[in-house]
Amino acid sequence: AAMENKPYAPEQWRAWLTPVIFVVCIIMFVYTMHVNNCPEKTADSHQCVLRDILGRYSFQPWKENYLLGPSIFTLRDLGGLDRNLVVRKNQKYRLLSSMWLHAGIIHLVVNMTSLMLVSYRLEQEFGFARIAPLYLLSGFGGSLLSCLHHKGKKEIVSVGASGALFGLLGTMLSELIANWTIYANKCTSLSVLGSVIALNLAFGFIPGVDGVDNLAHIGGFASGVLLGFILFLRPQYGYVSEKYIAEGYDAKHRKPKYMHYQQLCWIIALILLVLGYIT
């Protein structure tokens, strides 16, 4: 009997990588505070926030870190992004290690909430094999641009998963554009996503908001946009997988898996991404 033609149906993946990233970031923050040990390493231990409750895990004084976290020296020692150490000491591992550290409990909560809201859905749709390189390369791209921006500046240590998270937002945008023909409410989706991205990017440029590494956000976002065109293409509407083609069906009438503009976006994005990282 002839098999019934079935359209391409994306597989739903079990999201496990996103929760792992979530747990690792929390563990790293607890370890950071353990190493920081504010009461022992601060001249006036009474200034440590919540010292009587948290002990060695208490936070640095408000005037030093308003995000409720460790000192800049602890973050640097544990792998925070310091351009001088990356360039002069050849400690390039900091371009990746910094994305697992957070400047404070507020910083951690904001980033982990964003991670679960954005990354979880993407991993369910596309799987961990695509999310893993996206997350790491976006974080790397954000760190790279941040390093270039902080040239000649002293006492600046950047940490956090913000570059990787902006990469996820960038990917959501390029994924929507690349797979435009298969979305039903495409204009609404684009408007909502565009507003979320614009608000997140604009927050870092508000006068009086300090400690936000805008260049890491932009670098991560740009990397995510390009990676989205490379890793997240979906087969066009009407494409039928070979395993579902009925016996005797003329393959000449079968639609190609990807449209020409999708293939063009893939090529351009790959070239720009490679040029961006090597230059």
Q: Is 162 a catalytic residue?
A: yes
Distance (Å, whole) CA 68 – CA 72: 12
The one catalytic residue in 217, 241, 253, 260 is 217
The answer to whether 217 is a known catalytic residue is yes
- 167 neighbors 224 (Cβ within 8 angstroms): yes
HEC per residue, the chain: CCCCCCCCCCCCCCCCHHHHHHHHHHHHHHHHHHHHCHHHHCCCHHHCECHHHHHHHCECCCCCCCCCCCCHHHHHHCCCECHHHHHHCCCCCHHHHHHHCCCCHHHHHHHHHHHHHHHHHHHHHHCHHHHHHHHHHHHHHHHHHHHHHCCCCCCCCECCCHHHHHHHHHHHHHHHHHCHHHCCCHHHHHHHHHHHHHHHHHHCCCCCCCCCCHHHHHHHHHHHHHHHHHHCCCCCCCCCCHHHCCCCCCHHHCCCCCCHHHHHHHHHHHHHHHHHHHC
Measured in degrees and rounded to the nearest 5, phi and psi for residue 80 equal: -65, 155
The pair of three-digit structure tokens given for residue 255, joined into one six-digit string: 């639609």
Active-site annotation holder among 98, 138, 162, 174:
162
Q: Which two tokens stand for residue 57?
A: 């895990």
d(CA 277, CA 139): 12
Q: Which residue type is seen at 164?
A: A
Q: Which residues are catalytic?
A: 162, 217
